[in-house]
């Protein structure tokens, strides 16, 4: 490792590969569906999901867990939660309201920032892995939705149930950082 660039470690490089994969999903938004394999979106996005688990493992195993790496991972996750739903909605595989998932993190951060500029305290979130589990569920759900074998009608029927936990966690977290809830 080049110590002039300590952020270029195995974990962060794995995260950057995820970002490149998610950029690949983004490009598919602008390409006609009939010009690529119907499996390509789920393969590219799914590879990014697998690497999401690998980058965290590498960070812990190689003692490369840094604040920069955590932020990088979180923002790449957020980017994936933008491009996959946009592609799925654009191709008719998800209802348009599922794009709420794409904006939820930014609304949450915006509400926290609004509290900050108004001089209100922002309380720390307690240690809780529920958000991580729900994010993993969303990644797996989106990977499945992007496959050609999943029936759009079935997805439309289960989409509200799949989306609800994510939205509820964002609401719960905001209520906690604003101390509307203990």
Query: Is 127 within a domain?
Result: yes
**What domain range is 104 assigned to?**
10-93+100-177
In a domain, 1, yes or no: no
> Does residue 38 belong to any structural domain of this protein?
yes
For the stretch 106-136, pLDDT in tens is 999 999 999 999 999 999 888 888 988 999 9
Q: How far is CA 150 from the centre of its chain?
A: 21
Total count of domains within the chain: 1
Q: Does any domain span residue 31?
A: yes
Domain-located, residue 4: no
pTM, full prediction: 0.89
pLDDT of 174 reads 93
**Mean pLDDT computed over every residue of the chain:** 91
Confidence of residue 1 (pLDDT cuts 50, 70, 90): very low
* Interatomic CA distance for residues 91 and 46, integer angstroms: 17
Whats the size of the chain, residue-wise? 182
Q: What pLDDT band is residue 55 in, cutting at 50, 70 and 90?
A: confident
Asked if 83 and 22 count as a contact pair (C-beta separation under 8 A), the reply is yes
Could you tell me where the beta strands, DSSP code E, fall in the chain?
Answer: none
CATH number at residue 53: 1.20.120
33 located within any domain: yes
Residues 6+ apart with CB under 8 A from 52: 18, 73, 76, 77, 80, 139
Whether 182 is in a domain gets the answer no
Let me know: does 169 contact 134? Beta carbons within 8 Å: yes
- Do the domain assignments include residue 113? yes
């Amino acid at each position: 490792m080049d110590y002039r660039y300590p952020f270029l470690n195995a974990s962060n490089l794995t995260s950057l590969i995820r970002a490149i994969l998610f950029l690949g999903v983004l490009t598919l938004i602008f390409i006609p569906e009939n010009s690529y394999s119907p499996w390509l979106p789920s393969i590219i996005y799914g590879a990014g999901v697998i690497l999401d688990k690998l980058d965290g493992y590498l960070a812990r195993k190689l003692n490369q867990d840094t604040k920069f790496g955590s932020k990088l991972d979180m923002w790449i996750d957020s980017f994936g939660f933008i491009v996959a739903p946009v592609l799925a909605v654009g191709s008719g595989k998800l209802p348009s309201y599922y794009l709420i998932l794409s904006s939820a993190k930014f609304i949450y951060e915006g509400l926290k920032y609004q509290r900050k500029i108004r001089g209100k305290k922002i309380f720390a979130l307690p240690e809780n892995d529920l958000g991580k589990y729900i994010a993993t569920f969303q990644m797996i759900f989106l990977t499945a939705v992007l496959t050609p074998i999943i029936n759009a009608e079935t997805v439309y029927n289960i989409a509200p149930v799949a989306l609800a936990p994510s939205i509820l966690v964002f609401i719960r977290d905001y209520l906690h950082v604003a101390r509307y809830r203990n």
